[in-house]
Amino acid sequence: MTAEPAAPPLLQMALRVEQDIFVIRQRGREVAAVVGLEHQDQVRIATALSEVARDLLWTTGGADVSFHIDAGVDGRFYLRADLAPVTPLPDGRYEPQSGAVSRLVDTLSVSTVEGVTVVRMSRRVPASAPMPTPERLAEFRTELGRTAPASALDELTVQNGQLIAALDEVRSQRDELAVLNDELAETNRGVLALYNQLTEELEETNRGVVALYAELDEKSAQLRAASESKSRFLANVSHELRAPVTAIIGLGRLLSDSSSDPLTAEQARQVGLIRSSAEDLLGLVNELLDLAKAESGRIEPDWADVDLRPLFGQLRGTLRALATRPGVELVVDEPPAPALLRTDEVLLGQVLRNLLHNGLKFTERGQVRLRAQRHGDRWSFEVSDTGPGIAPELHDRIFEEFYQVPGATRVGGTGLGLPYARRLVTLLGGTLELASEPGRGSTFTVSLPTGGA
């Protein structure tokens, strides 16, 4: 991991006798200090050096020791110590007696450089240390050359001092750890209490939500039941009403028939009134029946590919008869080709007729217009008029059954047309929306998927 040494070593020394171990240790620490290693690291590399030196003295009879500075591939600098044994290493290998040695340095290995086998160790120089330029290295060498090796006794004293300092540090770290442990236990207790409190609150909230849901379920079951019984009532009553009303119309027609006994003018007028009232009533009954049928889901669309052009032609024809006001024009635009759509022609016709009929009913001047447009995979049908318009807050209400805008010109009707139209559009897989403002007319838009629901 380190580059080959280019510069001469910072320091060289020989290991031959036991006392040299102390000297190597002390000099190693000095080199480490000079190149800028921190105090802890100085002691670490010095300890590793003395351990390895002791091993080599016993196994190989000594070594030549040298110190170097290398640039690492990581861009950082390393202090390297090479110990070249004076006789070959047994099996060419080196195994430190103490396993802790390799943990004291960054690398510890046996390398062969230019045929010479060395035990090599290195320790990284902190980034904060001065750059080891060639000038700095020269200074290091001079500095190391100046200091003379101390005696073994001196070194022993220094080592003892270091040992005591290390022990002190271990003790203070242990005390710090105990304090930290206490703090951690305290924090844990707090967190646990908070957790318990939150769990309780959550359970409380959950119980509330569950109760709320139960209440909602009950309410929606009640609503469903009410709506079903309303539909059943409407269907039954309408059905029962239809027969007598049809009978009244038939009888009225018979009375005014030319083959029947002649009526006085007044009688004829009154029979005419009975007939037209009965016809209105039949209209209402039929609408009620339609709506009840749609609500109970008994209407099944008859899906088919529908050409809009004949349908529009038919609407144009039948509604022209209703556009009786002189100042109101009915316009049914030709749909753009290809005017094909998969839907139920009868139901779609009913919806559009209903909307156009409303437009004609409520518009006193201007225009009622039907326009179809294709947008991607949808068709939109716009029925717009220049009538009185509808206030935004009533846009939802007019789709409610029997709702009619209060104060609007009384033009007849039941308030059932729009809810029915919306039901049908939903059955066809589409939507029915309204854009309107008082005084600006209304636009009802039916949007249907091209391919059916």
Q: Considering beta carbons, is residue 59 or 404 the nearer one to ligand ADP?
A: 404
Per DSSP, the three-state class of 31 is helix
Q: Considering beta carbons, is residue 65 or 398 the nearer one to ligand ADP?
A: 398
Residues β-bridged to residue 382:
371, 445
Distance CA 90, CA 110 (A): 12
- 3-state secondary structure string, 396-442? CHHHCCCCCCCCCCCCCCCCCHHHHHHHHHHHCCCEEEEEECCCCCE
379, two tokens: 């068709």
End-to-end Cα, the chain, rounded Å: 72
Residue 198: CA atoms inside 13 Å, Cβ hemisphere, count? 6
CB of 81 closer than 8 Å to CB of 28 = yes
Q: Please select the residue that binds ligand ADP; options are 417, 422, 425, 430, rule is CB under 6 A.
A: 417
Is 418 a binder of ligand ADP (CB under 6 A)?
Answer: yes
Residue 4 CB neighbours (<10 A): 8
Interacting span for ligand ADP (CB under 6 A) from 137-145, 170-178, 316-324, 410-418: 410-418
**Peptide bond preceding 336: is omega within 30 degrees of 0, i.e. cis?**
no
Is 388 a binder of ligand ADP (CB under 6 A)?
Answer: yes
Q: Considering beta carbons, is residue 159 or 386 the nearer one to ligand ADP?
A: 386
Q: Please select the residue that binds ligand ADP; options are 415, 429, 449, 452, rule is CB under 6 A.
A: 415
Is 387 a binder of ligand ADP (CB under 6 A)?
Answer: yes
Is 423 a binder of ligand ADP (CB under 6 A)?
Answer: no
Residue nearest to ligand ADP (CB): 413
Is 442 a binder of ligand ADP (CB under 6 A)?
Answer: yes
Smallest separation (angstroms) from ligand ADP to the CB of 388: 5
28, two tokens: 């190693």
245: Cα separation from own chain's centroid: 61
Interacting span for ligand ADP (CB under 6 A) from 32-40, 303-311, 409-417, 422-430: 409-417
295, two tokens: 């609500």
The residues, ordered by sequence, that sit 6+ positions from 451 with a Cβ below 8 Å of its Cβ are 342, 377
Interacting span for ligand ADP (CB under 6 A) from 117-125, 156-164, 328-336, 413-421: 413-421
278: Cα separation from own chain's centroid: 61
Query: At 230, phi and psi to the nearest 5?
Result: -65, -45
Number of residues that bind ligand ADP (CB under 6 A): 19
Q: Considering beta carbons, is residue 215 or 396 the nearer one to ligand ADP?
A: 396
In single-letter form, the type of residue at position 288 comes to L
Residue 16 CB neighbours (<10 A): 13
Is 445 a binder of ligand ADP (CB under 6 A)?
Answer: no
Q: Considering beta carbons, is residue 43 or 416 the nearer one to ligand ADP?
A: 416
Q: Considering beta carbons, is residue 224 or 440 the nearer one to ligand ADP?
A: 440
Interacting span for ligand ADP (CB under 6 A) from 30-38, 65-73, 143-151, 387-395: 387-395
364, two tokens: 């006193």
Q: Considering beta carbons, is residue 303 or 403 the nearer one to ligand ADP?
A: 403
CB of 370 closer than 8 Å to CB of 312 = yes
Smallest separation (angstroms) from ligand ADP to the CB of 203: 49
Interacting span for ligand ADP (CB under 6 A) from 22-30, 41-49, 82-90, 412-420: 412-420
The tokens 């729009």 sit on which residue?
A: 418
**Within 307-366, which residues bind ligand ADP (CB under 6 A)?**
358-359, 362
The residues, ordered by sequence, that sit 6+ positions from 105 with a Cβ below 8 Å of its Cβ are 44, 45, 48, 121, 122, 123
Task: Give the residue from 52, 50, 55 showing the smallest Cα distance to 20.
Answer: 50
Smallest separation (angstroms) from ligand ADP to the CB of 294: 13
Is 290 a binder of ligand ADP (CB under 6 A)?
Answer: no
Smallest separation (angstroms) from ligand ADP to the CB of 263: 33
Is 408 a binder of ligand ADP (CB under 6 A)?
Answer: yes
Interacting span for ligand ADP (CB under 6 A) from 127-135, 140-148, 373-381, 383-391: 383-391
**Residues within the interface to ligand ADP (CB under 6 A):** 358-359, 362, 385, 387-388, 390, 398, 403-405, 408, 413-418, 442
